[in-house]
A = this chain, B = another copy of it.
Amino acid sequence: MQDSAPAATPKPSRIQRRNRKRILDAALEVFSQHGFRGATLDQIAAEAGLSKPNILYYFSSKEEIHVTLLNALMDTWLDPLRRIDPEGDPLEELLQYVHRKLEMSREFPRESRLFANEIIHGAPRMGPDLETVLKPLLEQSATMIDGWVAEGRIAPVDPRHLIFSIWATTQHYADFDAQLQVLMEGQDVLEGASAYLDTLYRRLLTP
């Protein structure tokens, strides 16, 4: 398919970029706090400092905003897993993965909740991405970990459940923040989490 015709996406203007970003920022805030159905375009508009029809000038529907956020999220989200170096020291690579994931819970709690919310409700808008992006990456990582186990460089462990547990334990600190705030009022939760998870996975994986 030649690209001699003018591009389908003519290249966004300065205003386009600025406002689309504002909208996505606002939407992330609102969606992550209230969920898809719980969020209203009016809330997003208010948060973005734009009028509702103006928002629909940049995105054709509420759903399109949500999907855009979800898609943009996937890459960031999986980055730590992709950065595990198959040539590195297995234990240290996996521990670094844990710490990077935990760091994401600190830096991007809204993204974490957005994602969690989507999955809890059956991933109605993410099914394809899970299959085509997440699954191959999981399989590839599992194979790598299995290799490390076979070489005796880490203790025997089910690689998939290992990864699930890392997701669960790290994302928990973002997704269940409201609960943790009540239970650990004042304390630096993430600090303790970091030390604890380091111990947890070190003891699990040390051969």
Contact = CB atoms under 8 A, between A and B. Distances in A.
Interface of A: 33-38, 113, 116-117, 119-123, 127, 130-131, 134-135, 138, 155, 157-158, 160-162, 164-165, 167-169, 171-173, 175-176, 178-180, 182-184, 192-193, 195-197, 199-200, 203-204
Chain copies in the assembled complex: 2
Nearest to A158: B196
B135 A176 contact: no
B120 A116 contact: yes
B121 A182 contact: no
Nearest to A117: B120
A181 to B, nearest CB: 9
Contact of A160 (B35, B184, B204): B184
A196 B122 contact: no
Contacts of A120: 35, 113, 116-117, 120, 175-176, 178
Contacts of A134: 179, 182-183
A73 to B, nearest CB: 14
A120 B130 CA distance: 21
B119 A196 contact: no
B127 A182 contact: yes
Contact of A203 (B130, B135, B178, B203): B203
